[in-house]
Chains A and B, each alone.
Chain A
Amino acid sequence: MPRAYRYLMFLSPVIFMIAFVVGPIMIMIAVSFWQRQGFAVVPAFQLDAYAEFLGGVRTAVLSRTLTTAFFATALSLLVAYPIAYYLARMSRPKVVRIVLMLLTIPFLINYIIRNFAWAYLLVRTGPVNMMLMQLGLTDGPVDRLLYSTFSVYVGLLASYMPFMVFPLWLSLSRIDGRLLEASYMLGASPVKTFLRVTLPLSMPGLFAAVIFGFVGMLGESAVPLVLGGAGYELMGNTITSAMNVLNYPLAAAMSTVTVLLMVVLIAMWYFLTDIRTFLGQIMGRE
């Protein structure tokens, strides 16, 4: 096979990604600068969409989305990290595989279906309220279980947390146990060992989990619709409602902001942490 053909074959997935992922994202960024004329959009370079997004009432949407994504990511980490940590220290690979599989199955089942289920469970007359009343924890049904910040957090955690275990586990299981033993032998307490040895060494995985969780939640559109209820606006469903009224530049501008944040986080991941340890775990020896 001539050299050029061989390169073309090997690079076909790269070309695919550039053509159908990077390219469309670039186009979307371009559209965010375009001008609306009636129902049409014409190429231009103006910042109207950004002014509309960052100037008006939508600033509140942006700040609410950032806070929600931040705290929901932090909560997910608080759950996912201990699980990944313990899994990485487990000596029986069979058990580890079973647990990882158990975490994968819910992730694979459409998360929107799972959010519908949560909406049903959390509604005023639903099973969760019934249980709370039967246990005598509340006198009457709790009104704000569904269509509240609480239910949105439940939905975000259920949707994003299971997968966050994976990069964390990859990173943590890569840590050489002898380093921990050395730390103990040098007199460090378990807490200090964790903070000075384990945590820094797990940063590549932690970063990957944070990017997946935070950026995903930032653009999440189904959870606020299903579990937030009418009027609960996060950036994701604001993007779809802008689309529905054909305000393409605004939808593009809001999406561009999520992409921008993603790029910044990935750049930090790439340059600040040693992702070789992380990728090395995937690729075997390097």
Chain B
Amino acid sequence: MVNDSKIARIAFVTLLFLVLVFLYGPLLQPILVSLSATGQIDSGMTFTTRWYSEMIQNQMIGRSLWTSVVAAFLTAIIAPLLALIAALAIREFRAKRAIILLMILPLFIPPVTMGLASAFFLKLLGIPSSLLTIVLVQVIWALPFAFLVIVTVMASFNTIYLEAAYMSGANRWRAFVDVELPAILPGISGAAIFSGIIAFNETIRTTMVQGPYNTIQTYIWSTFLQVGLSPQLFAVMASLILITVAMVLVMVGISLSRPAADVR
């Protein structure tokens, strides 16, 4: 590798630092506002948990959060399962590039467009809005990410172990379940949590197919559109940020405990 000059390294670290400040700095705002008695950030700020107790008493928020959790949970099961099958299909068929392109297509479709298309589709087929339609659009959005995670993990698995299993008399199903699956399991659980996080944080696609149901994100969005933001809403946002970060930490924890996946 060609050595980089010191100046280049300093420039890179500075840029990275500024980008991280740009990305993480704003995350402090909802947390500070939600803890401030006046709902404002200033030097003489007094702390309060008032907005959080109001938040907990708000039944709309409780109900929306429950919908979000159920939808994210279902997405976290369905998306990695489809992703795993798709990753196996790449090995099976010759049209690899076409399959990959199709699987990552939703990455490149703007939320409004995908939401609109889903809404037309459901309306045309006469399918009423329900939890399932919410899960559908969330799976569509999470699937490319789950797919990329699983394909990457499966690429680090050496298929020679499968051949060894075949030679020992295992059929394809047994070879997959007994040899490959344990090795790629951390990747699959990583993809599941990733899908759950993606679904939990989705707004725009969901608003187009939600019907009378609210997820916690669409609750924030519709309240913003109708009456604007409030300290209580910032308390919800702060909680969502912390929940998301906690889920990421769980995901990192799982990926660090990956003894089996390093079989090469």
Q: Evaluate contact between B1 and A106: CB separation under 8 angstroms.
A: no
In the complex, number of A-B residue pairs with CB atoms less than 8 Å apart = 222
Q: Does A108 belong to the interface (CB within 8 Å)? A: yes
Q: What would 26 A/B residue contacts be, using CB atoms closer than 8 Å?
A: A10-B92, A12-B82, A13-B83, A86-B4, A86-B9, A89-B1, A101-B252, A113-B220, A114-B26, A116-B234, A116-B237, A121-B25, A157-B22, A158-B22, A184-B2, A211-B108, A215-B109, A219-B110, A219-B112, A220-B110, A239-B116, A258-B113, A262-B109, A266-B108, A275-B97, A285-B155
Q: Indicate whether A28 reaches chain B with its CB closer than 8 angstroms.
A: yes
Establish whether residues B203 and A117, one from each chain, have CB atoms under 8 Å apart when the complex forms: no
Question: Which residues 221-258 of B have a CB within 8 angstroms of A?
Answer: 221, 224-225, 229, 234, 237, 240-241, 244-245, 248, 252
Interface string of B138-159 (1 = CB under 8 A from A): 0010010001100110011000
Interface size class for chain A? 35 or more
Q: Indicate if the CB atoms of A252 and B116 lie closer than 8 Å.
A: yes
- Which residues from chain A sit less than 8 Å from chain B, CB to CB? 9-14, 16-18, 20-25, 27-28, 31, 79, 82-83, 86, 89, 91, 99, 101-106, 108-110, 112-114, 116-118, 120-121, 127, 157-158, 161-162, 177, 180-181, 184, 211-212, 215-216, 218-222, 225-226, 236, 239-240, 243, 248, 251-252, 255, 258-259, 262, 265-266, 270, 275-276, 279, 282-285
Cα distance A31–B117 in the bound complex, in angstroms:
10
- Residues of chain A contacted by B15 (CB below 8 angstroms): 79, 82-83
Residues in chain A near residue B19, CB distance under 8 A: 79, 83, 103, 161
Say whether A116 contacts B229, CB under 8 Å: yes
Which residue of chain A has its CB nearest to the CB of B88? A10
Give the chain A neighbours of B30 by CB distance below 8 A.
113, 116-117
Known: A31-B120, A252-B116, A255-B116. A25 touches B109 (CB 8 A): yes
Q: Is the CB of B197 within 8 A of A28?
A: no
Q: Which of A109, A120, A226, A270 contacts B201 (CB 8 A)?
A: A109
Tell me how far the C-beta of A21 lies from the nearest C-beta in chain B, rounded to whole angstroms: 6
Whether B101 contacts A270 by the Cβ 8 Å rule is yes
B177 in the interface, Cβ–Cβ < 8 Å? no
CA A217 to CA B127, docked complex, whole Å: 30
Interface of A is mostly: helix
- Shortest B227–chain A CB gap in Å is 14
Is B85 a contact of A10 with CB atoms below 8 Å?
A: yes
Rounded to whole angstroms, the CA-CA distance of A262 and B109 in the bound complex is 7
Let me know if B64 is at the binding interface, CB within 8 A.
Answer: no
Residue contact B86 to A21, C-beta cutoff 8 Å: no
CB distance from A189 to the nearest CB of B (A): 12
Question: Distance (Å) between the CB of A83 and the closest chain B CB?
Answer: 6
Q: Which of A82, A110, A248, A283 has the most CB of B within 10 A?
A: A110
The listed residue (B105, B111, B112, B234) touching A21 by CB distance below 8 A is: B105
